[in-house]
Amino acid sequence: MSNANKPMLQIKNLWKSYGDTTVLENLNKNVAAGEFVTLVGTSGCGKSTFLKMLLGMETQTRGDLLLDDQPIGTEPDQARGIVFQQYSVFPHLTVLQNVIIAREFEKSPLLGKLFGTPKKALVSEARQLLDQVGLSAAEDKYPHELSGGMRQRLAIAQALIRKPRILLLDEPFGALDPGIRADMHALILDLWREHQLTIFMVTHDLTEGFYLGTRLWVFDKVRHDPQAPGAYGARITYDLSVGDMPSDTLNQIQQSLNPADTSSASASGESL
Ligand SMILES: Nc1ncnc2c1ncn2[C@@H]1O[C@H](COP(=O)(O)OP(=O)(O)OP(=O)(O)O)[C@@H](O)[C@H]1O
């Protein structure tokens, strides 16, 4: 296989347990640079655990997780370029300062500050990003003065200033109103293209997952042992490319995610 065709990420026979409880079992996938993978699955089936393994915050129990052919280690390593987008702002800093500090800590972990020319370049970069996420007019505001959508934009700018190759998003838009969510969808797609990101995004909304992703993974626990509830974990039961989704498949996924719901999913989709 030539280098150009090599997957960026290889997941091989990957298992994760906590004590006697198996959370994820036997995941096997390759992901190319530039894909936008959305992850859906019932609550507690291990989606966030999977993101944490990508980030190196959790270690697999068995199997391999390779980035550019190298194991993802447990030490934070900025060179890997995997960034987890979270809403973690300092309330006493302005929007602009909050974006700058995300990178200052990375460049100067002890002092948390840059000076002179590097600082000027960083401020200019932060302003450019705030422009891209639509927050230019709010650069001097404090976090408590922002709406929910603006906070999410700030969190995205904080992640992007660290120049990720792989961006991890864990239900970033769940708390937003539908109109604001639509704006955020457009924004994340623009940023994904412009920054040539590879994205993994957990969502509870199947429609959102299918609309945003180039690829949708369904995590589901297919084996159950009533005598040993922790014996089996979730697998990736569907791996669908955009455009692959016939309506009966959509219904099957909806059923597996929400077995109590006997009604069929509408073609326009429903929140899970
Ligand atoms: N540090 C931990 N120690 C023990 N068990 C854990 C730990 N972290 C997660 N778990 C368990 O692993 C399982 C998977 O959790 P995880 O948060 O990955 O699920 P999820 O699919 O992201 O759920 P949700 O959709 O509700 O966020 C859960 O049963 C959880 O209780």
Does 39 lie in the same domain as 21?
yes
First to last CA, the chain: 39
Average pLDDT over residues 236-255: 76
20 lines ligand 1 (CB under 6 A): no
18 lines ligand 1 (CB under 6 A): yes
- Closest C-alpha among 56, 50, 4 to residue 28: 50
Q: Which of 128, 163, 198 is the last residue of a domain?
A: 163
Pocket test for ligand 1, best of 24, 45, 272 (most atoms within 8 A of CB): 45
pLDDT of residue 257: 74
Q: What is the rounded average pLDDT for all residues in the chain?
A: 84
Which residue segment(s) compose the domain that 135 sits in?
Answer: 88-163
3-state helix, strand, coil in the chain (%, to 5): 35, 25, 40
Is residue 73 over pLDDT 80? no
Does 69 lie in the same domain as 2?
yes
Q: Cα(45) to centroid of ligand 1, in Å?
A: 7
Q: Pick the range with the lowest mean pLDDT from 65-74, 88-97, 189-198.
A: 65-74
More confident residue, 267 or 224: 224
**Can you say whether residue 81 is alpha, beta or left, with left for phi > 0 and alpha for psi between -120 and 50 degrees?**
left
Does 236 lie in the same domain as 170?
yes
Count of CB atoms situated within 10 Å of the CB of 35:
20
- Per-residue confidence band for 267, with pLDDT thresholds at 50, 70 and 90: very low
Q: Which of 102, 137, 163 is the last residue of a domain?
A: 163
pLDDT digits (tens, 9 = 90+) for 118-144: 678 889 999 999 999 999 999 999 999
Measured from the CA of 41, which atom of ligand 1 is nearest? 21
Does 175 lie in the same domain as 202?
yes
> What is the distance between the alpha carbons of residues 184 and 91, in angstroms, rounded to a whole number?
23
Q: Cα(47) to centroid of ligand 1, in Å?
A: 8
Backbone φ and ψ of 264, nearest 5°: -80, 150
Measured from the CA of 46, which atom of ligand 1 is nearest? 18
Nearest CA to ligand 1 atom 30: 44
Does 260 lie in the same domain as 272?
yes
Q: Cα(11) to centroid of ligand 1, in Å?
A: 19
Does 76 lie in the same domain as 170?
yes
Does 173 lie in the same domain as 59?
yes
Pocket test for ligand 1, best of 48, 84, 200, 221 (most atoms within 8 A of CB): 48
Average pLDDT over residues 209-215: 92
Does 188 lie in the same domain as 257?
yes
Cβ atoms of 169 and 200 closer than 8 Å? yes
Q: What percent of the chain has pLDDT over 90?
A: 54
Does 190 lie in the same domain as 250?
yes
> What is the distance between the alpha carbons of residues 243 and 215, in angstroms, rounded to a whole number?
9
Does 153 lie in the same domain as 31?
no
Q: Which of 111, 140, 163 is the last residue of a domain?
A: 163
Count of CB atoms situated within 10 Å of the CB of 272:
20
Domain count of the fold of the chain: 2
What residues contact 93, with CB distance under 8 A and at least 6 apart? 101, 142, 143
What residues contact 144, with CB distance under 8 A and at least 6 apart? 91
Does 170 lie in the same domain as 58?
yes
pLDDT of residue 18: 95
Query: Could you tell me the pTM of the whole model?
Result: 0.86
What is the 8-class DSSP label of residue 207?
Answer: H
Nearest CA to ligand 1 atom 2: 18
* Alpha helices in 144-270, H assignment, sequence order: 148-160, 178-194, 206-212, 247-257
Is residue 77 over pLDDT 60? no
Does 259 lie in the same domain as 216?
yes
Q: What CATH number did the domain enclosing 238 receive? A: 3.40.50.300
44 lines ligand 1 (CB under 6 A): yes
